[in-house]
Chain A
Amino acid sequence: AAGVIQSPRHLIKEKRETATLKCYPIPRHDTVYWYQQGPGQDPQFLISFYEKMQSDKGSIPDRFSAQQFSDYHSELNMSSLELGDSALYFCASGTSGARSYEQYFGPGTRLTVT
């Protein structure tokens, strides 16, 4: 079965650079969630989208922005990168229907800021 795809899988950036992470949800999923997992930390919710509209916002820094496109893929844009942004970034997808309690996680993008 198709799973959530994230690209790139690994990314190395320098401080003050920008980065764009991409997430391709499972086909027919209309909701996307972004999580950040720092080293030794539990995943923290950043932001979510439903039908291309932002549906909820968590602990996402103002330097980050995200959007969901017409094909339901989502991109997380990160600017003025800081060392503390080094983390594993997960995308999860789900549906708004009867099984809306389920989220399916992608493999993650490991961002290293040097």
Chain B
Amino acid sequence: AQSVAQPEDQVNVAEGNPLTVKCTYSVSGNPYLFWYVQYPNRGLQFLLKYITGDNLVKGSYGFEAEFNKSQTSFHLKKPSALVSDSALYFCAVRDNNFNKFYFGSGTKLNVKP
């Protein structure tokens, strides 16, 4: 069965500092991994995905994520956080058979000026 874990309910970081939002996964077969961002009262917005290839994936708004097969992790990173990055971030894995997503519990990112 596919599953995703986001161990941190909340991450606090100062503007301009690097940020990391953690995600670990459990999948059977090759993992298809995704990050989505959700702003208050808004829908899910796609940030980036890992399907195959380079372990470092670059996405929207300056975010990137590193796929680590040995640690079964797919942490989201950004070199320099912005206050406008404050939102709820979801890691997701795609079910290989039916294409539906399984989401992590979400991590609230707070970027303070």
Contact = CB atoms under 8 A, between A and B. Distances in A.
Q: Are A and B genuine complex partners?
A: yes
Contacts of B102: 45
A3 to B, nearest CB: 9
Give chain B's interface residue range (CB within 8 Å of chain A): 20 to 34
Nearest to A110: B41
B43 A108 contact: yes
A100 B99 contact: yes
B49 A103 contact: no
Contacts of B49: 101-102
Given A42-B105, A42-B106, A102-B49, A31 B44 contact: no
Interface residues of A, number: 26
A107 B41 CA distance: 9
A43 B90 contact: yes
Contacts of A58: 100
A106 B43 CA distance: 7
A103 B101 contact: yes
A96 to B, nearest CB: 8
Nearest to B108: A40
Given A101-B94, A105-B44, A45 B101 contact: yes
Interface in B33-57: 36, 41-46, 49, 51
A101 B98 CA distance: 9
Interface in B58-88: none
B44 A90 contact: yes
6 contacts: A45-B101, A56-B98, A90-B43, A90-B44, A105-B36, A108-B42
A-B pairs, top 5 by smallest CB distance, nearest first, are A107-B43, A42-B103, A56-B98, A105-B44, A108-B43
Given A107-B42, A107-B43, 7 more contacts: A42-B90, A43-B101, A48-B98, A88-B43, A90-B43, A101-B99, A108-B42
